[in-house]
């Protein structure tokens, strides 16, 4: 095939604003201030998040919990899309399978989170290994189709196997974890901190992966598989590991979501959810960790606002997809970066 579809949204990870400045001194300085501002912003963000339970009502606290969980979900997909260049359209499968594993082990076996959460992550990882072995035989559009189709099989099982999963009634009354803590996680503030800690852990793992040699190898694979092959990398193995890791983190998000809603339904792994998380990643900006998190927060917020006015959320969501594709294909992060680059250029022109 002479022309190959290229993923134009990929290379956005160099957050350094100094891309088009030639002077090395400027570059070093810029990078240092960039690092410092990243550190300051994330510290401020963490402090704000920690203080929220004292400020917000339990309704809005719930909204923030949902944002954090879906942000983790979106970041896990970004490991595939933004870093490894693998656009999966079935990421909700792992989110949903872990949620079902959490719900089923809690309801049928009475497992507390100590056991249920590792089991759920394992379920997501094993499914991803199986699906990955199939899907990774392909790339490009076939990969999109295969991941979507496999996730719909998972949905079909959740929907059809009524005796196990309750079909479209789902699994109601999933209990919150006990963990032997002095606070009841049924209350919103302790549960908020529980989610905060686990989402922070998940984020930390993702950030470490992305910054590791493994993460750089993934970027290399995104840019050119053949070159990485020539350099002696086992590309296939790297992709499979990335696929399973992303699914495991998505599983953690699914697990938390099951605890948060105390309910699991086939909607958790429907293609609509896979598409939604894809939108979060692209709206925020693929190839950065902060972008998809912001994208997730915005979509949750939008859904909340829209749902007070109309039941036609799907139409609104559809319009957002079209608008993002047309006007912000490199996401908000890309938008901000363009703005800063333009500013820098203007400033450079101002002082010759």
Partner 1 sequence: MTFWVVQTLNGISFGMLLFLLSAGLSLIYGLMKILNLTHGSFYLLGGYIGLVVVHATGSFVLAVIAGGVAIAVLGVVMERFFLRRFHLQELPQALLTFGFLFIFSDLATVIWGSNPQTMPKPAMFSTSIQIGGLYYPSYRLFIIAFGLVIAALLWWLQDGTRVGAMVRASVDDEEVARGLGINVSLLFTMVFALGAFLAALGGVMGGPIVGVYPGADFEVLLLGFAVVIVGGLGSLKGALIGGLLVGLLDNFGKVFFPELALFTIFAPMALILAVRPAGLFGRE
Give contact residues for partner 1 (rule: CB under 8 A).
1-9, 81, 87, 89, 134, 137-138, 140-142, 144-146, 148-150, 152-153, 156-157, 160-162, 271-272, 275, 278-279, 282, 286, 312, 314-315, 317-322, 324-326, 329
Closer residue to partner 1 (CB): 252 or 280: 280
Closer residue to partner 1 (CB): 141 or 184: 141
Closer residue to partner 1 (CB): 56 or 149: 149
Least Å distance between CB 93 and partner 1? 13
Least Å distance between CB 287 and partner 1? 11
Residue 264, helix vs strand vs coil: strand
Q: What are phi and psi of 329, to 5 degrees?
A: -65, -20
Least Å distance between CB 157 and partner 1? 8
Q: Tokens representing 12?
A: 């956005």
Q: Crossing angle for the helix pair 58-78 and 188-211, nearest 10 degrees?
A: 20
The residues pairing with 263 across neighbouring beta strands, listed in sequence order, are 172
Least Å distance between CB 219 and partner 1? 17
Least Å distance between CB 33 and partner 1? 32
Least Å distance between CB 174 and partner 1? 24
CB-side neighbour CA atoms (13 Å) of 38: 13
Say how far apart CA 39 and CA 46 lie, in whole Å. Answer: 11
Closer residue to partner 1 (CB): 150 or 300: 150
Q: In this structure, are residues 79 and 263 in contact, taking their beta carbons and an 8 Å threshold?
A: no
How wide is the angle at C-alpha 19 spanned by C-alphas 15 and 25, nearest 5°? 105
Cα–Cα distances (Å) from 346 to 258, 337, 349, in that order, read 49, 14, 5
Give buried/exposed letters for 103-128 (b at 16+ CB in 10 A, else e). Answer: bbbbbeeebebeebbebbbebbbebb
Closer residue to partner 1 (CB): 95 or 159: 159
Least Å distance between CB 296 and partner 1? 16
Least Å distance between CB 320 and partner 1? 7
Closer residue to partner 1 (CB): 3 or 57: 3
Environment class of 169 (CB within 10 Å of its CB; exposed 0-12, middle 13-18, buried 19+)? exposed
How wide is the angle at C-alpha 244 spanned by C-alphas 239 and 250, nearest 5°? 125
For residue 48, how many other CB atoms are within 10 A of its CB? Answer: 10
Closer residue to partner 1 (CB): 102 or 152: 152
Say how far apart CA 345 and CA 352 lie, in whole Å. Answer: 11
Closer residue to partner 1 (CB): 160 or 172: 160
Q: In this structure, are residues 102 and 116 in contact, taking their beta carbons and an 8 Å threshold?
A: yes
Say how far apart CA 2 and CA 152 lie, in whole Å. Answer: 32
Say how far apart CA 245 and CA 212 lie, in whole Å. Answer: 14
Closest by CA position to 320, among listed 291, 279, 286: 279
Least Å distance between CB 4 and partner 1? 8
Closer residue to partner 1 (CB): 282 or 300: 282
């Amino acid at each position: 095939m002479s022309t190959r579809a290229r993923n134009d949204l990929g290379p956005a990870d160099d957050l350094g604003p100094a891309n088009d400045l030639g002077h090395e001194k400027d570059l070093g300085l810029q990078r240092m201030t960039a690092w410092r501002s990243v550190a300051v912003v994330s510290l401020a963000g963490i402090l704000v998040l920690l203080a929220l339970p004292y400020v917000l009502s339990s309704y809005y606290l719930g909204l923030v919990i949902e944002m954090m969980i879906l942000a983790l979900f979106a970041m896990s997909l970004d490991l595939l899309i933004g870093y490894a260049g693998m656009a999966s359209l079935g990421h909700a499968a792992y989110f949903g399978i872990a949620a079902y594993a959490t719900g089923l082990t809690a309801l049928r076996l009475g497992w507390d989170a100590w056991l249920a959460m590792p089991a759920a992550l394992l379920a997501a990882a094993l499914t991803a290994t199986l699906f990955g072995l199939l899907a990774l035989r392909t790339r490009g559009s076939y990969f999109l189709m295969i991941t979507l189709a496999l996730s719909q099989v998972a949905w079909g099982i959740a929907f059809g196997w009524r005796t196990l999963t309750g079909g479209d009634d789902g699994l109601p009354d999933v209990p919150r974890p006990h963990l032997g803590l002095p606070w009841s996680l049924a209350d919103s503030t302790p549960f908020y901190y529980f989610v905060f800690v686990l989402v922070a852990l998940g984020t930390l793992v993702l950030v470490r992966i992305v910054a590791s040699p493994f993460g750089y190898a993934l970027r290399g694979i995104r840019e050119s598989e053949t070159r990485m092959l020539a350099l002696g990398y086992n590309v296939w193995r790297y992709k499979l590991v990335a696929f399973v890791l992303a699914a495991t983190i998505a599983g953690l998000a699914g697990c938390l979501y099951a605890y948060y809603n105390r309910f699991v339904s086939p909607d958790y792994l429907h293609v609509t959810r896979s598409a939604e998380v894809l939108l979060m990643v692209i709206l925020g900006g693929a190839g950065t960790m902060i972008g998809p998190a912001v994208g997730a927060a915005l979509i949750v917020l939008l859904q909340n606002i829209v749902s007070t006015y109309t039941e036609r959320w799907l139409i609104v969501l559809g319009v957002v997809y079209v608008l993002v594709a047309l006007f912000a294909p490199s996401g908000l992060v890309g938008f901000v970066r363009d703005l800063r680059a333009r500013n820098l250029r203007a400033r450079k022109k101002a002082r010759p």
